[in-house]
Amino acid sequence: MKKIATWNVNSLKVRLPQVLQWLGDNPVDVLCLQETKLTDDKFPQAEINAAGYEVVFSGQKTYNGVAILSRHPITDVVKNNPLFEDEQQRIIAATIEGVRYVCAYIPNGQAPDSEKYQYKLKWLAALHEWLAQEQLLHPRLALLGDYNIAPEDRDVHDPAAWVGQNLVSEPERAAFFHLEKMGFTDAFRKFEQPEKLYSWWDYRQMGFRLNKGLRIDHILLTAPLAAQCTACVIDKVPRKWEQPSDHAPVVATLD
């Protein structure tokens, strides 16, 4: 049995103590992080190693940045999508115990009429293209991260207010469902879940207290892994801590 998780930490510099606390409470086998916001020379590798984890990372100044933490040896690290030239550090992939992990921080998109939205859609199309190849090489493939897409209305606290907006618009959702058409399963939706459970809540307007959230952080698994998956939960506990990330970790159990 192993547990794998993803968490957008919104600055690892600020959130390192919480990551270490959370790993102490939840000693998962693999943890994918997004929005580390650290250049590689500033990455807190020693602290993470001391907690019992190997780590690989790809960062930049101020924005983006991803990392994979693992209790087991990490091999074959790839940074970014080889099919998509990108100055932004949003992908790191690695093999751990025969499973290929892709840790992704999918672009936010800002607004459907923005250039950033066009970048998001192009980025997603290139992700599809790359993962189609990766699936052939790695039948046991897991895509974990902040997708910045709420796939369905039930993943949105107020669907009427969000119609057509960034994070829920039809082209973004189509890109998410394309991953499912390619054979990926949304681990969270494989199971009965509480209603109105989200993975992100706005810092403003008491978003968390009022549960004004979106489910935008996901674990997608190819069929052999989905068949092994026996649970998937969103852990709201660290969202209640002092100075939290606005995202909660998502954890899947594989038998």
Interacting residues with DNA (CB under 7 A): 8, 10-11, 13-14, 35, 37, 61-63, 107-108, 110-111, 116, 146, 148, 166-167, 200, 202-205, 214, 216, 243, 246-247
Q: How far is the CB of 116 from DNA (least distance, A)?
A: 6
Q: How far is the CB of 175 from DNA (least distance, A)?
A: 15
| Catalytic hit among 146, 155, 217, 246 | 146
- Whether 144 and 219 have beta carbons less than 8 Å apart is answered as yes
| Cβ count near 249 (within 10 Å) | 26
Nearer to DNA, 181 or 209 (CB): 209
Nearer to DNA, 48 or 254 (CB): 48
Q: How far is the CB of 206 from DNA (least distance, A)?
A: 8
Long-range contacts (CB closer than 8 Å, 24 or more residues apart) made by 118-125: 120/148, 120/172, 121/171, 121/172, 121/175, 122/84, 123/81, 123/84, 123/86, 123/90, 124/172, 124/175, 124/178, 125/175
Paired strand residues for 253 = 3, 231
- Give the pair of three-digit tokens for residue 80: 């970014």
What number of H helices and E strands is found in the chain?
6, 14
Establish whether 105 is a catalytic residue: yes
Nearer to DNA, 91 or 141 (CB): 91
Q: How far is the CB of 144 from DNA (least distance, A)?
A: 15
| Catalytic hit among 53, 101, 105, 198 | 105
Establish whether 255 is a catalytic residue: no
Paired strand residues for 79 = 92
- As annotated, the active-site residues are 105, 146
